[in-house]
Amino acid sequence: MNKEQIKVSILIAALEEERWIGHAVSAALASVSAAGLRGEVIVCDGGSQDATRERAKRSGALVLQAPKGRAKQLNAGLRAARGDWVMLLHADALCNPRMLEAADASLERGAVGGWFQVDLLPESGKSTNTLRLLSWGINLRTRWFTTATADQALFTSREVLLDLGGVPDLPLMEGIALARALRARGAVVVLGPWLRISGRRWETYGPWRTTGKMYSLRLAHKLGVSERTLARFWRNHAGTR
């Protein structure tokens, strides 16, 4: 396909996501088709040792390998993207046609970009009401303060994102930094709630403990604590690499 024929590029940064990546890619590609758009899904893998890359390819994504780190991975995808606009999707998130239709229409009307309210999906089947309450709180914050975190499927034109220098190369808080940069650039929109994302983090580490840690990170970031220090704090909490 020529570059001009691609409307949207959906970029997914992944690391050890064999359980979710096939679902995320399949939902994204089905949504592109149902929305009547020409699009592509690019999975940017940070060195997975499981079957992430194989399952992403089998589901129809273009798979790239990049240095580990969400911003680095997404920026590798951005360099390969051919769409007029891009959406940054988490590997445990399910896209749907309404998201793409609404984002495309918003950009056509002159918005610089935007993001989505969320619906947290239970994986254990034991915390549905708690996750509903957490979703409500996240969405209330998103509407009131017009802010976003990285898992809220930020979108903007490829040209704008390239002009901003890509996704801010930070070890943590890159989504918040990008949302801030988009707001400074012009009008942004908050859409949904249509984005379904896994509630596994809250279920694994405890909903209130995890929420408390997240807001502590946001407060510390606002007070000037470095992203590197915050990233170490989060890794110690989440047990991530």
Contact 157, 107 (CB under 8 A): yes
| CA–CA separation, 18 and 106 (whole Å) | 33
Listed range (1-10, 52-61, 169-178, 207-216) with the worst mean pLDDT: 207-216
Give the per-residue pLDDT at 215. 64
Q: What is the mean pLDDT of residues 78-98?
A: 97
Average pLDDT of the residues of the chain? 89
Q: What percent of the chain has pLDDT over 90?
A: 72
Q: Does domain 3-200 have CATH number 3.30.70.100?
A: no
Give the per-residue pLDDT at 227. 67
- Helix (H) or strand (E) run with residue 64 in it: strand 62-65
Residue ranges per structural domain of the chain: 3-200
Q: What is the mean pLDDT of residues 183-192?
A: 96
CA angle 36, 38, 39 (to 5 degrees): 120
Contact 173, 230 (CB under 8 A): yes
pLDDT greater than 80 at residue 106: yes
Q: Starting at the edge strand that comes first in sequence, how are the strands of the sheet with 93-94 ordered?
A: 62-65, 39-45, 8-14, 85-90, 155-157, 113-121, 188-198, 93-94
Burial class of residue 125 in the structure, from the number of CB atoms within 10 Å of its CB (0-12 exposed, 13-18 middle, 19+ buried):
exposed
pTM: 0.86
